[in-house]
Amino acid sequence: MVATGPASFVGYCGLYCNACGIRQEKIKASVNSLREIIAAYGFDKLMPELAEWEPSFKHYSEFNQVMNGLVKLFGDCPGCLQGGGDPNCKVRSCAKEKGYRTCAECNETETCENLAPYLKGYKGLTMALQSIREDGVEKYAEEMQKKVDAGYSYLEELK
């Protein structure tokens, strides 16, 4: 069965893609905002002159390439089930191999080496997996989408 609606944004690990700052295009928006400010003040045109005053500005071209790379890599993520995220994700591979929709179906989540970095980085993931177990992916996704609609992002947990 193919997931649709909010449930299509629940990754194999149990994270809700729409709560991800990358999917929310926060990096893309920040880069574009910084570019607008730089251009508004004309700094992009003044970098050779500014480099005489501040030597680090001579690296503006490389900095601009890094910003392009950030937008390219993290600009538009379709979500885990649609192939977004880490193409070599061990959690995705394992869940698919075992035929699981999410790790919530697995009895080894607490000891899983593949899932461990996510459990450590996202404080609410253990509770999310429990919610998926108890209420199902659909209900969990609906609740998460309500939080996202109210402004929630996983970035709050990563600080």
> Please, where are the H alpha helices in the chain?
26-40, 43-53, 60-74, 90-98, 116-121, 125-135, 137-149, 155-158
Residue partners of 20: CB distance under 8 A and separation at least 6: 77, 153, 154
Q: What are the angstrom distances between the C-alpha of 156 and each of 32, 91, 112, 120, 121?
A: 22, 23, 25, 14, 11
The string of pLDDT tens digits covering residues 50-60 is 888 899 999 99
At 140-149, the pLDDT tens digits run 999 999 999 9
- 96 with 137, same domain: the answer is yes
Task: Give the chain's residues under pLDDT 70.
Answer: 1-4, 158-159
Same structural domain, 117 and 53? no
**Which residues are CB-contacts of 154 (< 8 A; sequence separation ≥ 6)?**
15, 19, 20, 21, 122
Domain residues for the domain of 60 are: 26-75
**Do both 16 and 30 map to the same domain?**
no
The whole-model pTM stands at 0.79
Q: Is residue 58 part of a domain?
A: yes
**Residue 1 falls inside a structural domain:** no
Q: 40 lies in a domain? A: yes
The pLDDT assigned to 44 comes to 87
